[in-house]
A and B are shown apart, each in its own frame.
Chain A
Amino acid sequence: MTTSFDFEKPIADLLQQIEKVQQIAEKTKVDMSGTLEELNQQLNTTREQIYSNLTGWQKVQISRHPERPYTLQYIEMMCQDFIELHGDRTVKDDKAIVGGFASIGGQTVMVIGHQKGTNTKLRQFRNFGMANPEGYRKALRLMKLAEKFNKPVITLIDTPGAFPGLEAEERGQGEAIARNLLEMSVLRVPVICVVIGEGASGGALGIGIGDKVLMLEHSWYSVISPENCSAILWRTWDFKERAAECLKLTADDMLKNRLIDGIIPEPLGGAHYNPAMMGGILKERILNELAELKNKDIDTVVTERINKFCAMGVVVE
């Protein structure tokens, strides 16, 4: 692991200690396996402790870890025969949203997701996972294609928001997202959405209307990022930790408020700590959800999807 967080300092310290003991053992040829085992146990306990008591802001940090798996990596880990499809047939191919047909557990699905880059150059190429209208329109085109051939849709959400650019406004960023919300709510195939990292506002929701909306354990989902929330409500970025708490953006809070349908556990230390294991867990969950949805007739699925979103909100009468 190349990047570690402030709150992981006890873990980093232990790792350092273990390395030192190993070096001493090697140099002096003294058997220190007892000490090492003790330290490793301590490491595990510390990791468990830290990762089971994360604050909202700490989860936001984990969700942005540069080594966290992104959509294409998940597709590679979970699927066979992925055929990536490009373009919205109107303007261009948006690199911040990818998608295509693939086979998962022997069945064909349409997988669509935000894509972030894995190095500086690719991060720019992918526009940091911030889609333009043509990204949302490509996603809709692919969903309609899936509907035509009766294949379920799986979306993987990971975006700091829809891109706030000049061309994005010219080409109707608002209309593109709005259209997806409407069309996805009545799409006549099962739809499973998973927030795998950042779920920021309309940019996330634009591919987020599903029969099952799930969140990875350390992902976040809200109307705005904690930094921007802090900037607007407190007029400074200094309140981002506080804003993260206020927004109730963690998977636990979102489930408690019945705004999502479930949480997918991550390996100890986060998805980036063991991507292969994370891919396995996600694949298994998707297959289970698909099996459940396939048992229902599509009219029921769509009606339940609409009713679920229409029940969201709290008012006083």
Chain B
Amino acid sequence: MQPYSIEMAWFKRDKKGIITSTQDKKEAPDGIWNKCPQCKKPLHYAEQVENNYVCHYCNFHLRIGSAEYFALLFDNNEYTELYGNLMSADPLNFVDTKKYTERIIDSIAKTGLKDAIRAAHGKIKGQDIVIACMDFNFIGGSMGSVVGEKIARSINYCIENKVPFLLISKSGGARMMEAAFSLMQMAKTAAKLALLSRAKIPYISLLTDPTTGGVTASYAMLGDINIAEPEALIGFAGPRVIKETIKKDLPKGFQTSEFVLEHGFLDFIVDRREMKNRIASFISLMNN
């Protein structure tokens, strides 16, 4: 399993909810500018929002969080958040270079999030949908007990209310500070998805950059349809680990969405600017 990456997320949400990058922020008289991580051209904040956080110049999909995905997909950005009070415990009293409890408190303060996933019920083009969306900014989007429990409860909710389920994955994998508790979230979410499947309620898995490790090896790959954003990193083992194992350079495009589609594990790749339409039309086809 690929554990979470400690790499800094490119974007951080500050207290005003404005998206800024830590390194490339430039204050301009009329707002905030970022550099596109791919083509390095300056992007104005308002333009990013308008273009659904996709670079105008090179179509790079900027890394965004649950708030942005909810705004993108729910009609009028209206939704009821589900199980929003769940927070991580520290069942193993885990201490590495830092206490896990401190890590959680710091992450909450830094991100304004309670954990690495949020779930909400709302409408997409007038149709009911529950969306659970991972946040990479919270300890690398790592999957601990809260992620598993929130997914499990959301699935219960979907079964009880007969609502389709969309899960947006964005994760470095397991949360090591919860060790085997984290591992068992794979089993827990897969078991719940078996029940959702038995209830014949549509489950769409949307994989975004990055989706690796235990998340790939559980709920992310178990959709009735698996779809992905362009050029996302999707895999079980991390590229570095594979490279060290096979002692060869990896082929270009290895473990991208396009690669995974080509090998038969995705149904289609969806540009973020067409995402709402495509998902809504799939749900409409299932509903009618």
Contacts and interface: CB of A to CB of B under 8 A. Distances in A.
Contacts of B221: 172, 174-175, 178-179
B88 A316 contact: yes
Contacts of B190: 178, 181-182, 185, 209
Interface string B231-274: 00001111001100110101100110000000111000000000
Contact of B184 (A165, A248, A312): A312
Contacts of A228: 3
A254 B180 CA distance: 8
A208 B188 CA distance: 12
Contacts of A305: 191
A312 to B, nearest CB: 4
Given A174-B216, A205-B186, A309-B188, A223 B236 contact: no
Interface in B3-55: 3, 6
Contact of A232 (B149, B176, B214, B219): B176
B1 interface: yes
B193 interface: yes
Interface residues of A, number: 54
B179 A248 contact: yes
Interface stretch (B69-77, B90-98, B118-126, B127-135): B90-98
B187 A166 contact: no
B275 interface: no
Contact of A223 (B6, B146, B180): B180
B227 interface: no
B96 A222 contact: no
Given A173-B237, A178-B222, 8 more contacts: A164-B242, A171-B263, A202-B217, A206-B217, A223-B182, A232-B6, A232-B176, A313-B149
Interface of A: 161-166, 168-175, 177-179, 181-183, 185-186, 201-202, 205-206, 208-209, 221-224, 228-229, 232-234, 246-249, 254, 257, 259, 305-306, 309-310, 312-317
